[in-house]
Amino acid sequence: MLDILRDFEKAALHFSPQVLVLGGIGLVVLGLCIWLGGLRWARLFAGLIGAGLGFAVAYFFTTGQTIALVLMTVIGAGFGMFFYRALLILVGGILVVFLVGVMFVVPSLQERGWTWPQEQQAAPEAPLGNWQTLRLLEQQTQYAGDQIGQAARDMNITGIALAVGAGILIAGIGAFFPRLIGAVSCSLLGTNLIFMGMISVLLYKGARPLTSMYENGSFYGLVFAGMIAFGTILSLVFSPGRKDHSKDKSQEGE
């Protein structure tokens, strides 16, 4: 597992700087917005999430036809904006399932000892352009997804039960406390985007963020958990509930 991360970091030295820097900064900015004020702009963010999910479904389950991509993106955005509370709770449940599952999948990946195919390794003599970088990242994402999916299928029943149970628990709590779980979901998503953006920028600087996170998992896990907790509190504070608005209106009327 450590070797595959090192290989990716080495290949990233030849990625397009524009993709790493601009993409990383964009992810950090979007992540901060969701992390700090996810509930205040919940409908907008849910629309963006729905559009992304719709695009992903069309991309992976069709041949990438333009009509399908546009149609599913628009439908996903509309669905997300209309059912934004339910979507935020669903996203929170999915993220929790993923994070719990990672704890059980990583040991399996360590035992498998997989490496990148030769055609997915950047050539040291030729720095990649923007489209070449995006294409390589797409191929690596698909390949990594296949490997992780295989490891997930080999996961023991205990790991599956805990991951699914955690997701169901989040969804169940969300049915009674939608604002709380909505805030947790926004904080989870925002924290993930911030980490991804910072990793992208650090890769451009020649740092080794992925191997550092892997070797110091406990420390980064605490940082991750702390950001989620702090982001949840900020989101709840910056976005007053309906009762607060109704009280303000009644006082103005008096």
Q: Domain ranges for the chain, please list them.
A: 2-112+143-243
Question: Residues 127-167: pLDDT tens digits?
Answer: 778 888 888 888 888 888 777 777 777 777 877 788 888 88
Tell me the CA distances in angstroms from 43 to 48, 77, 87, 191, 248, one per residue in order: 9, 10, 10, 19, 22
**Cβ contact 109:5 at 8 Å:** no
pLDDT of amino acid 183: 85
For the beta carbon of residue 191, count every other beta carbon within 10 angstroms: 25
**22-36, 96-110, 115-129, 139-153 — which is least confidently predicted?**
115-129
Q: Residues with Cβ < 8 Å from 142, sequence gap 6 or more?
A: none
Q: Which two tokens stand for residue 205?
A: 């600087």
Read off the tokens for 231. 């982001």
The model carries a pTM of: 0.76
8 A C-beta contact, residue 23 and residue 198: no
A 10 A CB-CB count for 42 gives: 24
3-state secondary structure 240-254: CCHHHHHHHHHHHHC
The predicted structure's pLDDT at residue 72? 84
How many Cα atoms within 13 Å fall on the side-chain side of residue 135?
7
Whether the Cβ atoms of residue 186 and residue 42 lie closer than 8 Å to each other? yes
Task: Give the mean pLDDT of 213-217.
Answer: 84
